[in-house]
Amino acid sequence: MVNYQLMYVNIFWPIGVQLMTYILCASYVLYQRYRIGDHSYSWSFFGPRSAIATPAGAYPQWRLACFSVWDQLNAMATGLPSPFIDQTSQSIMSNFVVIWTVLISVPYLGMRYATEHLLGCALILISCAVAVTVQLQTGHPPLGEYKNADGTLAASSPAWYALYILGTVPSGISNCYKQRCLKGVDLEVMYATLWSGNWQIMWGLLLFPLNWVPLPAPAKVVPPSQFDAYLRDSLTCFLGRAPNASEPLDVVCASKGGSAFDWFIVYLLFNVSFNVLLLWLTKRMSATWATIATVVCLDLTCLFSMSPALMGHEAQPMTLQQYLALVIAAIAMIVYNLKPEMDAEGRAVEGAHAFELRASTVASHPSDRASLIGRSSRSCHSRMPSVASCRSSASRCSSIAPWDGDAH
C-alpha cells in the first residue's frame, strides 16, 4: 500500500488493532473472572470509569488519550517512509528510540544511569554506524536502495531516512509517559491498552489531513477534493487489487502472495500481543529497559526479513556489516543489564508497583505522585494491599495525598 500509507496508518491500522484488542481484553476479563475467580472483573472493565483501572479506582481518560497520541505520531512518521527503506535499515534506525528515551527520562522520570547503562546506549549507536559503514565508504550496495513488493530495485530519497529518524522522537516521549502513568498508580496494563487504543482511533482521524502535505517522491499526494476517490482506491488496494493500472506503485497492490488485508490479519495477532507485553515490561522494569530489550526483537526482525516466505519479493540478504551491527546491539543489552536502574533517590526502579510499605507508612517515588488521582483519603479496596496500609482498629486506610508528596 505504498500510495496509501497514511490512509492505512490513520484509519485501517488503529481500527484493526482496536478490534483485535477488544477480543483480547474480553478473553482476559473472562479468564480473570472465571478461571482466577476475581469477580471484580466484569463488563464494567470496558467502561471509561472502571473501578479496577487502578487500585485507587478510576483513571482520567485524558491521560489515556495522551497515552496514544505519541504512538500515533510515531506510526505516521515512521510508516510513511517504510515502503522506501529496506527492513534492516528500518530496524537499525529504530534504535534511535533508545537515545530519546534516555534523554527524556532523566528530567521527566528522575532516572539516574550508571556507566554501564550509558555504555550500552553508546554500543547501540555504534551498531547503527557499523551497519552502514561499507555503504558509505564504497557505495555498494548504494545507501537508500530498497526492493518494491514486486521485487524491483529502487532508490530512496535521503528525506525519507530523516523523516524516519525524526519519527522515533515521539516514541521516546511515549515510552517515558507510559512508565510514569503505569508505575504512578499501578495502572492495569490491559485497561490502559484498551482505552489508549480507543483514543488512538480519534487521533488517527484528527491527523488524517497530513495526507495532504507534500511528500518526497515517489509518494502520492492527494488533495482534499479527491478524498472520496482516495478512500475507494485505498480499500481496493487493501483487498489486493490495483486501483489504477497506470500507476506503477498502485500495481504493487496486486502483488502475489496475498492481499494487504490477508497479511494485516496475521500482523494483528502479533502486534497486539507485542504491545501488551511491551507495556507490561515498561511497568515491571522501565521504559528504557523495555526499549533496550526491543533491540533483541529488532535483531530477529532483520534475520527474518531475509525470508521470502515472510517478506515476499522484498526479502534481501543481510550484509556482513549488518550482521556485526546486530551482534553489537545484542551485546549492548548485556552491558546495560550489568547494573540495576536507579532513580534520583538511589532506589531500584524495577518493580511493577510504585508504592512500598515502609515502617507502617506508604512511600512513593517523586515522579509517581504527579500521576496519582483521587482524594487524600479513600476506603479500603480489595486490590490495594501495596498502596494503602489499613488499620484494623479503626478500619481506615492511610493513603498518599495525590499532589503534596506527604505520606499519611
Look up residue 155 and give its three cell numbers: 532508490
CA atoms of 26 and 28, how far apart (whole Å) = 5
pLDDT reported for residue 372: 29
Segment-wise mean pLDDT, segments of 10 residues, the chain, 408 residues: 83 93 95 92 93 91 92 86 78 84 92 92 85 72 65 73 90 94 91 95 88 71 82 92 85 86 91 91 92 81 84 80 85 90 84 44 35 31 35 33 33
> Is residue 161 within 8 Å of residue 167, measured between CB atoms?
no
Task: Give the three-state DSSP class for 18.
Answer: helix
CA 39: distance to chain centroid?
Answer: 31
pLDDT reported for residue 199: 95
The amino acid at 219? A
CA atoms of 156 and 139, how far apart (whole Å) = 14
Look up residue 49 and give its three cell numbers: 470509569
The amino acid at 113? Y
CA atoms of 220 and 249, how far apart (whole Å) = 9
CA atoms of 98 and 113, how far apart (whole Å) = 13
Range 342-348 contact pairs with CB under 8 angstroms and sequence separation of 24 or more: 342/111, 342/112, 342/114, 343/109, 343/110, 343/111, 343/112, 343/367, 344/110, 344/111, 344/112, 345/110, 346/112
Residue 165: CA count within 13 A, CB half-sphere: 11
CA atoms of 193 and 268, how far apart (whole Å) = 14
pLDDT reported for residue 386: 36
pLDDT reported for residue 359: 30
**Burial (0-12, 13-18, 19+ Cβ within 10 Å), 294:** buried
Q: Give the Å distances, CA to CA, from 67 to 28, 49, 175, 181, 207.
A: 21, 16, 9, 9, 16
> Is residue 74 within 8 Å of residue 178, measured between CB atoms?
no
pLDDT reported for residue 308: 86
The amino acid at 217? A
pLDDT reported for residue 239: 93
pLDDT reported for residue 143: 65
**Burial (0-12, 13-18, 19+ Cβ within 10 Å), 373:** middle
Cell 482521524 -> residue:
205
CA atoms of 37 and 179, how far apart (whole Å) = 29
pLDDT reported for residue 107: 93
Phi, psi of 352 (to 5 degrees): -75, -20
CA atoms of 39 and 29, how far apart (whole Å) = 9
pLDDT reported for residue 151: 65
